[in-house]
Amino acid sequence: MLFGGTKSGSFITIDTELLHYSQLTIKGVFHTTPKHVKIAFKLIKNGLITADKFGTNEYKLEEIEKALLEHREGKVIKKLHSF
């Protein structure tokens, strides 16, 4: 499942042997639902993925303008906020 808003023209590379023989399904979602959030948290809790994959930058509350500008410019994927 692919999460996150990507820029137009972004691409991924897939191992076609793995895709075929493991019968993988790749699906993009536009918005998360409570079901998807619960699944994501369960994957983190069980150590299958790490939370650091969700954020590329961290900003303090007083840096909110910088965070918004960098997001608009496509310099970050997701932001983590510390208070």
Higher pLDDT pick, 77 / 43: 43
In tens, the pLDDT along 8-49 reads: 787 888 899 988 899 888 877 666 678 878 887 888 889 887
In tens, the pLDDT along 6-17 reads: 677 878 888 999
The answer to whether 81 touches 59, Cβ cutoff 8 Å, is: yes
Close Cβ partners of 71 (under 8 Å, ≥ 6 residues apart): 79
The structure tokens listed for 31 are 């918005």
| Sequence ranges of the domains in the chain | 1-49, 51-83
